[in-house]
Each structure stands twice: as structure tokens, then as C-alpha cells.
Chains A and B, each alone.
Chain A
């Protein structure tokens, strides 16, 4: 630090995707040897910002960006990530980018191997050169030492513990000749606490040697601990750019999630009481790629709307998908006190649960079929409704009339905009498709309804209608609803209780009236007990 000339500076960077603004006038500087913490909810624009910095082709394909990026005071334009790498910017992605059957050393020098030329070089080019194994090992060991961790250069990646993989990735980035800026995207997400400790320590070491680091993490604790400066992104705006010293987790958490809460619905709502347990989940794990659930136990009361929130990739979507049998799962799930067989969607549906999937077009709808088909389909398959026996029940035939009247009923009830009940599902807009999905679930007359990301990808007016429909359905039929959503405000507006999922576990359960900052703290990857302590402290302050 101390250098007044910034190494990297972003000036008024803006980006929109098809009229949708995801970044607006974001500016910040990064100095040599500085660690910058970058925090924000999903959708805040972190990923897009990094894509711009790296010249990912997707940015140019969607119309480029506004503003400028300067390196050493010179404006730069990267058109591929390789140009960014050549300029000395290294990135460690959330997913490992390692070859499993290669050793640590081979991975560190991947595609930058030291080589001896061979006889065939003149004819077939450089790729016929022989690898210089001793030199490769020497370079790898050099990078590992610079990082200050213990890694065996000869170990296969497939046999490594997860922490070593992360270190291997970082070693690869810093082994480049000119590596000056290192971007780490959620580097500690997969690490144990002690491994994360070691990682933070080696980041500090690197910073002392002059490497500038952008540290992206949702674990605010770590950010505050390791960073020199913290930039908070929210809805595409850099809302804060402050020194980390003296920063509290609570402040950063509320900056991260806090929105102006005009017309707060949460404040003006009744507090309902529920007694009977309808669903109990014990030690549930779900292997859903990108949304792994590790160990979730919870209890849902009959008649309530139970919200599940949390950042993307933490496992909230895995919970309904696992319980409904769409992804391999284990643990104990009981509905009305009876065990539900996992990994068997038909049994889950028969037991009285229904699921409106977040994957509307993939799982939710038969896109090429008509609306009445779509709405009646699951009820027909599971309960044998809308089928007419013929020849004394040897065959059954679809009850077209029954289906049509069912469809008409829901078109009216949910105000679905369509030409007729025979229209194809793919021709509807996103919001109306979502209503069809809801109608399909309602037609099952479920005791318990899972609704996953019900308002994703639909416009504001339709959002309100979908939420109102859910609330109305809950009140009128007493259906218990478990709603999973990335949008905290949405959860707070209709749920009776909200669980926040972090790293595949429940970080805590809060009433919708709780302070936004408390939700932020739970999302920020602090252990549940610490979160409770932080909240207690904050309450004491308030008093």
C-alpha cells in the first residue's frame, strides 16, 4: 500500500443485459499489495463485474459495457480472458479448474510447461517438444513456497483433500511470470475452518509481496478480517467503499441486503399461531449439482407459509428438489408423522405434496402440449383423475370435458392470459406459464405445496399476482406452503417464518419482522451460535 498510483482502476463501469441494468457507474481503485473485499448478494453484479474485468466473450456478445478499466494508468480492452492473464490478472473460480489425473505440479504449469525442443519441432511445431519434468517441479515448488503452504508437488489432484485443490489453483495463478492481481471468487466456500485460516494467512503473505487481491466472499467475517478495504455491491451499484478497519459485520450485512423499505408489508401483518406439525425433516442431504444440501433439519407447521432463503449455491433449491425425489437424497422426511420415501417422485406426489419447480420450462411444463393437458397432467398420473373407464374399466380414456372445465376454472381464478384452453404452453409469457404451474399444483389439492422461485423471470405485476394467489390459496384452503426464493423481500412479504440456508445447512430461522441486517448476518456465513451472539449484542445496543 502507500503507493498513490493505483494498479487497477475501474471507472464508471455500467452494463446492461437487454435493457436490464446489472451494473451502474461502479468505480473503485486497487493498489499494489492491497486486499479488496468485494461483497454483495446474488444478482448484485459481482460476477458480471469480474466478467468485464476478464474480457469474457459473453460481455462483448451482449453489447459490451460502458466505462473504462485502467491498468497502471493505461486504459485496457481485453477481448479474451487470455489477454487478461497475459496482463497479469489471475482468477481463481468457485469451481475447481484442475485436471484430476494430473499432479499438483502438472496442474500448476498447465499449458505453460517447461520444455526441451525435440527433432520433430521443425516439422510439426512446438507441441512435439519434450516436457522438462525437473524444471516443472522446480517452478511448482517455487509457487507453493511463495504461497507459504504445504503441498506435495507429486500428488494427484484426484487424491487431494479439497483444501489442497484450492491452494493448487492459487499456486497456478501466482506462478505466472507477471501475476500482479489475483481475483478469488468465494475461495473459502469449500474449505474447513482451519483450511480457510491457512488460506487467509497466505493471502496476507502474498499481499505483502506486492500482489493486489480482489477477495469475493459472502463470509463477511473473513472479508472484514483479511481485507484492507471493502466494496459493497447492491443491485448493480457500489453502495459503499470503505476501509475494513473498524467495519462491523452488522453494518456490512445491512448494506448488502438492505433496501429502502417503502411501504413495508412485513410490519403491518398479523402474527399467526400454528400448532400441529405437518412436515418434519431430519438430517436431510441432497446431491443437487450446485445446490448441495448437507444437513438440514426443520419442522413445518400445518397451515403456515414457511420461507426458505439464502444466497445462490448454498443449497436452498436442493431442499424441495430432494424431498420431491428429483435429486439423490438421504435423511428422514415425515409428512403427518408418516415416513416419506426419498428418491421416488411418484410416492412424494401421492403422499399429498406438490412442487412448483424453479425450472419452469424443464420440469414444470409440457411445453408442446395444451394448457388443459398441462394443468390436469399430474393429477391424472398420480390420482387417476380426469380419466374415464371404457369397456368396464379395461381401458381408460382421457376425460377431455373434465379437463377443459378444470382448465377454464383456473384460467378464470388466476387470470391467465391465453387464447383458449387448447393453446400450447410454450406460447404463453413467463408470468402466465408460472400461473399454469401453480394451477397444475393446485389441481392436485395438496396438503403441502413447495414453491421454488415462483417469481423468477416474470414481470413486477405478475409477481404480485403470483404472491397474492399463494397467500389467498393458503388462507382459503389452509394449504401449507413452503416457499423457496432468492428474494428476501418477497419472503418477508408473505411468509410466517423464514429459514436462511448457508452452506447446505440452516443458519437460522427468523420471523419476517426481524431486522434486514439479521438476515444478512445469517447469509454471511457465520456459525449459527455466533449469529445469535451478534444479534444479541445488537439488541443490547438498541436497548
Chain B
């Protein structure tokens, strides 16, 4: 019996276990001090958690991992471009960026949710491809519209030809303005208190949201659309709301992410936002259908611990930092693939377990004996 439980534990937490083992194995060869690693993890928790939390609601609503969150990230970037253009500095600049970005992300979220409603059961790949499509529109907007159709005040952020935004945008005016409002020193570590407070607020919101009628409906829709529909729950609307909220969170998350980084790679900062957020939540033990706030934090800590130690471990072991960089990609995509395979395997196993039940319904029939020749 205990062996069976152990197997179940292994299959449930396979991804987490592989990650813990690999990361711990890399710490030694990386020759990094634990203090450094912990400080880095604290910084990255503040930087990434908000983005990863934005994935939770669509998972509750049964829409899988929302690769479409990239849309929100793009909206956030547009907000930041305008904040820099208007010269709004400090945390006020972030609020300004948010005010610009949120309406755009509501619109994009609505588009994304509507498209996904037409592709039920294939939300993940739909979101992924939709992100590529909206990326095209984003590029067009930033590369051609800004500075030509939409006047820009600050010529220094434009390309030398007079329109379009430079490849790299310096966010000096808002750099770490959220982190630095209150930067507490706890022992050797610097902790961005306000950033963590914002993340905590978001977590409280998620917990509260699950207790609302809308949250309950979302869970119902996520588990069985047909039943929810028969009970009168507006299924499609609920799914769209889940995606809109997720996109809005991703917009805010990207703003927090970029203020910490301090500069914006205008044309590809959002490329891997969805990919890293999804990898993080999966590393934290979430699956396509189940996720919790704990998964978010475990995932961010583990994934980034790996990212911190693996390049140096690669350099020290193989003499090339590129090995570590390669590892980063390999592991990120590998985790996503592994999680999806494990999920498919578990669903099939559950189906065959259910199948074994159909044979035990009632006693074996005294077949054929009822008939007389």
C-alpha cells in the first residue's frame, strides 16, 4: 500500500522532484555563495511572481495554461512607452503606464477570450498562436504608428528616421521605482517591501475571488462546461472574464517586471513572457487543470534558482557559459513538454481506472439460462 502511495507521490510531483535534485546538484559546481543565490531569488520573486499569478484564473476556468497572457505583457509595454514619452517619472510613471495599459489589455483579453470560445479544448495552442498574431500588430503599432500617426513628445526614444521606437528603451525614469519605495534590509538581504505587498494583495484578491459567485462559476465551468451550461451559468461569458482578468494581471505583471529590469527591449521583451511564466507554474507542481498560489511561489523559486546556478555550473564544469544558457532553454521547454505528457498520461490512466469499474457492477449474470430452446 505504501509503495503505491509512493508511486502516486512520485507521479504527482515528478517535475518538482526533478527540479529540486537538478538545482541542488548544480549549486556546488556553480561556486556561488548561498547568500548571493538567496538575494537573487528574492529579487526575482518580486520581479516575476505577479506575472505567474496571472495564469491562475484561466486554469480555474479550465482553459489550461494561458499562453495568451503575452497580449497583456504587450499592453503593459505600450503603457511604459507612453510613460517614458510623457516623462512621468517614479512610481507615478508606473501608475500612468498601468492606466494606459489596462484598457488595452481588457480589449485584447476580450478578443483572446472570444477566439478561445471558438476553439474550446484547444485553448493553449490557440493562445500561443494568437500571441504571435497580436505580436505582429504590436510591431506595426510601435514600429510605424508611434511617431507618425500618433505624435510623440520625446524624440530621443524614436528611431533616427523620425518614427518608430528605438530597439532598446531606457526606463531610467521609472527604474525600480516600485522596489525602492521601501527597501528593507533584513540581515544581508535587500527586500523590496512594496513590491511584495502588491503581490500579497494580489494573492488575497485571488483567494477572495475564489469565494465569490463568479469564482465558483469559474470552477464549475472549468470542470464541466456542459453541466455548468445546463445549470444556467453563462459559460462563454465566464471564460471571457477569466481571460480578461488574466490579461490585465499580465499587463500589470509586465510593468512590475520591466521596472525591475530597468530597460525595455521594445520588440522582443514579451517574446518569452508567457513561456517563462508557464514553465514556472509547472515547475511549482501545477498541471493543466490544477494550480494554486503555492505552486506559483515554489515554481518561481525553483525555476530561477536553476537559472541562477546553471550558467555558472555549466561554465565551471564544461568551460562554456553557453552550455548553461542552452540548459535554460532546454529545461524550460522540457518542463512544459514533460508536464503536458504527464498530464495526458494521468488522464488516460484515470480513464482506464474508470473502465475497470464498469465490470464490477453487479454479480455475474446467469447468462443464457433464461432462454429455452
Contacts and interface: CB of A to CB of B under 8 A. Distances in A.
Given A99-B228, A100-B223, A510-B371, A131 B216 contact: yes
A59 B220 CA distance: 28
A446 to B, nearest CB: 25
B111 to A, nearest CB: 20
Contacts of B220: 99, 102, 110-111
Interface string B178-197: 00000000000000000000
Interface string A506-529: 111111000000000010000111
B214 A131 contact: no
B370 A99 contact: no
A130 B224 CA distance: 22
B366 interface: yes
Contacts of A508: 368-371
Interface stretch (B114-122, B307-315, B357-365): B357-365
A532 B369 CA distance: 8
B213 A528 contact: no
Interface string A478-512: 00000000000000000001010001111111110
B65 to A, nearest CB: 18
Contacts, number: 124
Nearest to B221: A99
Interface in A98-146: 98-102, 106, 110-111, 113, 115, 118, 126-131
Interface in B215-259: 216-217, 219-220, 223-224, 226-228, 230-233
Which of B217, B364, B365 gathers most chain A CB within 10 Å? Answer: B365
Given A111-B217, A528-B369, A328 B355 contact: yes
B223 A531 contact: no
Contacts of A193: 362
Contacts of A330: 359
Given A82-B232, A99-B224, A111-B231, A528 B367 contact: yes
Interface in A288-347: 292, 294-298, 328, 330
Interface in A230-252: none
Interface string B65-104: 0000000000000000000000000000000000000000
Contacts of B35: none
Contacts of A541: none
Nearest to A193: B362
B4 interface: no
A215 B228 CA distance: 25
A113 B216 contact: yes
Interface in B321-373: 352, 355, 358-359, 361-362, 364-373
A110 B231 contact: yes
B370 A295 contact: no
A127 B368 contact: no
B212 A192 contact: no
B211 interface: yes
Contacts of A404: none
A128 B214 contact: yes
Contact of A130 (B211, B227, B367, B370): B211
A525 to B, nearest CB: 12
Nearest to B366: A528
A152 interface: no
A371 B365 CA distance: 44
A405 interface: no
A377 interface: no
Contacts of A118: 212
Interface in A361-402: none
Contacts of B223: 99-102
A285 interface: yes
Given A292-B358, A528-B369, 12 more contacts: A97-B226, A97-B231, A99-B227, A100-B223, A127-B214, A131-B212, A131-B216, A190-B361, A294-B361, A295-B364, A505-B367, A528-B367
16 contacts: A82-B232, A98-B224, A100-B223, A100-B224, A101-B219, A127-B212, A129-B213, A130-B212, A192-B362, A294-B358, A503-B361, A507-B365, A507-B370, A511-B373, A527-B365, A532-B369
Interface of B: 208, 211-214, 216-217, 219-220, 223-224, 226-228, 230-233, 352, 355, 358-359, 361-362, 364-373
